[in-house]
A = this chain, B = another copy of it.
Amino acid sequence: MSIITLCTDFGPYDSYAASMKGVILGINPKANIIDVTHSIPRHDITFAAFVVQGYYNYFPKGSVHVAVIDPGVGGQRYDMVLRTKDYIFVGPDNGVFSYILINQPSVCHEINIPHAVSATFHGRDVFAPAAARLSLKWDKSVLGNIIKRPVILDIPKPIISTRGITGEVIHRDHFGNLITNIPSAKLDAIAKNKVLDIFIKGVKIQGIRNTYEQCGNDAPCAIINSFGLLEVTINAGSAHEKLGARKGDTVKVLWK
């Protein structure tokens, strides 16, 4: 049983995702197709890149992860297969796999799909058949030229000073939680046992709580989330809405 996950911005009601599923099952009838989401905000490659890094490594080794957020379909960007030690990724070479490229040794290839394809829907005509064939075995005929410099988004890194760390919001989730690029490992390494203040949008948050429940219900609160990242949350509300904060906003952690 080979697993193929699908992550797209095709939205909730069109036939696009289903036609990819049909193509996959036509090539590999035993593929176990797993819907990640088809509701990535339209054309938001940065959003999708964060989502992809959130699930890919919880799947069994050998899983094929397809992501189709593809505003440049039919244009200059490559159709890409990215292979790491444990996973295969299939999608456009537009940065959607940035976190994998940054964090994992990998090899990227253009995709060879011989027959004619539409210029507007490579999800169905290129990525679905490539993923299905790669899920059957490591099918070299799918692989074209090596892509030497795959596109990597400019993922912001936190900046460390003697008094603190300056990061930013990199994702807002469904609950309105503001996820930052500040990893708990870094905080542990340099600020262990220190008294921390967190600043966002002019608001000061004292200390980091262990659970959402400890946050109380209405106040902005800092937490280490399930990605191991610092997150600003409001337990019974939306930190995004109440703070008016969004992706790119600065978050500072200061100690004394």
Residues of A within 8 A of B (CB): 1, 3, 5, 7, 10-23, 25-26, 29-30, 32-37, 39-43, 47, 51-60, 63, 71-76, 118-121, 124-125, 173-175, 210-214, 223-226, 235-236
Contact = CB atoms under 8 A, between A and B. Distances in A.
Given A13-B41, A118-B226, A23 B58 contact: yes
B58 A226 contact: no
Contacts of A74: 210-213
Contacts of A56: 22
A214 B13 contact: no
A43 B213 contact: no
Contact of A40 (B13, B52, B173, B223): B13
A58 B174 CA distance: 30
Contact of A11 (B5, B40, B53, B174): B174
A51 B14 contact: yes
A173 B11 contact: yes
A241 to B, nearest CB: 12
Copies of this chain, count = 3
Nearest to A124: B226
A25 B36 contact: no
A238 to B, nearest CB: 9
A35 B38 CA distance: 12
B11 A58 contact: no
B75 A214 contact: yes
A54 B11 CA distance: 15
Given A11-B175, A13-B41, A51-B14, A22 B60 contact: yes
Nearest to A118: B226
B51 A15 contact: yes
A248 B33 CA distance: 36
